[in-house]
Structure 1
Amino acid sequence: MKKLKKRWGIESNFQLTIILIVFAITGSTSAWLSKPFCLWLGITSEDLGFWFTPVRLLLIFPIYQVFLVLFGFVFGQFTFFWSFEKKMLKRMGLGFLFKE
């Protein structure tokens, strides 16, 4: 845990616990919402077969990103999650989305 705290620039175990809780809630919420979201879009495993899961993951990815920042805000960790998002998207080649 010390390495993780140092890597993320976190001082307290409490803050680390809150951050891990936010990751857990975000992942669970995204997974839970992915089925109705795909049904709403009319995407089914019968139509796509093998490609259903990769397509579902690609569709839910932006929703996960929004929820991560939203839940981070609700739990008082907006600054951490906003910088985490920017860093991750820059590594994915989407840094042009942020002016700095």
Structure 2
Amino acid sequence: MKKFKEHWNIKQNWQLLFPFLGLLVLTYSSYKLANALINNSNISWVILFAIVIFFVLLKFTLFLFKKLESKWDLQYKWEFISIFLVFAVTGTSSIFIARPIIKLIGITKENLNLFAYWFLYIIIGFIFYQILLVLIGWLFGQFKFFWKFEKKMLCRLGLKRFLD
């Protein structure tokens, strides 16, 4: 455990929450992917395939950490996990918020062209994604990182005047 804490720059025990949550989310995602891909009622094959997916995703995630370590200015390695968790939670949350808003406005696939429906759905989801990214980033203790990230994204979209 001491080696693990040193590798991830964990100074206090509460910071162990992020690697634990990261592994939990990775395990759940691996199982859901395996279950969707196999479509087999034999649970042992699903679990076996989930284990393979877990290790592939873990290797890919650790590869991303190394690539982003020089790009993102973070003090501790465990912050990478919290940032990835924020991206995951925000993406899922923005979809769950966009769906009722679309219904509230009265937009359905039946009363609107399918292309226009999906375009509006993505636009509304994107707007709420921007808001949620900062809010959920704040909840995970990464407000500074996500505010900087948000400002950069809005500048790239040509919306710099809204930041001044």
Partner letter of residue 7 of structure 1? K
Q: Is the 8 A contact 2:91 2:129 kept in 1?
A: yes
**Structure exhibiting the larger radius of gyration computed from Cα positions:** 2
C-alpha root-mean-square deviation of aligned residues, in Å?
A: 1.1
Q: Which residue in 1 is equivalent to 2:147?
A: 82
Q: Which runs of 4+ in 1 moved over 6 A?
A: none
Q: Which residue in 2 is equivalent to 1:8?
A: 72
Partner letter of residue 121 of structure 2? R
Q: CA offset at residue 11 of structure 1?
A: 3.5
Q: Is the 8 A contact 1:22 1:68 kept in 2?
A: yes
Residue by residue over 1:23-74, the C-alpha shift from the partner in whole angstroms, topping out at 9 and shown as x without a partner, is 0000001111221110011111112222211111111211111100000011
Q: Which residue in 2 is equivalent to 1:17?
A: 81
Q: Is the 8 A contact 1:68 1:81 kept in 2?
A: yes
SS in 1 for 2:74: coil
CA distance in 1, matches of 2:90, 2:132: 6
Identity across the alignment (%): 41
CA distance in 2, matches of 1:64, 1:21: 14
Partner letter of residue 14 of structure 1? W
Q: Which residue in 2 is equivalent to 1:51?
A: 116
Label 1:3 to 1:11 Cα distance change in 2 as closer, same or farther (>3 A).
Answer: farther
TM-score (structure 2 length as normaliser)? 0.58
How do 1:50-69 residues align onto structure 2 when only pairs under 5 Å count? 50-69=115-134
Q: Is the 8 A contact 2:97 2:128 kept in 1?
A: no
Q: Is the 8 A contact 1:5 1:11 kept in 2?
A: no
CA distance in 1, matches of 2:129, 2:72: 20
Structure 1: 5+ residue stretches without partners: none
Larger RCO, structures 1/2 (Cα 8 Å, 6+ apart): 1
TM-score (structure 1 length as normaliser)? 0.92
Structure 2: 5+ residue stretches without partners: 1-64
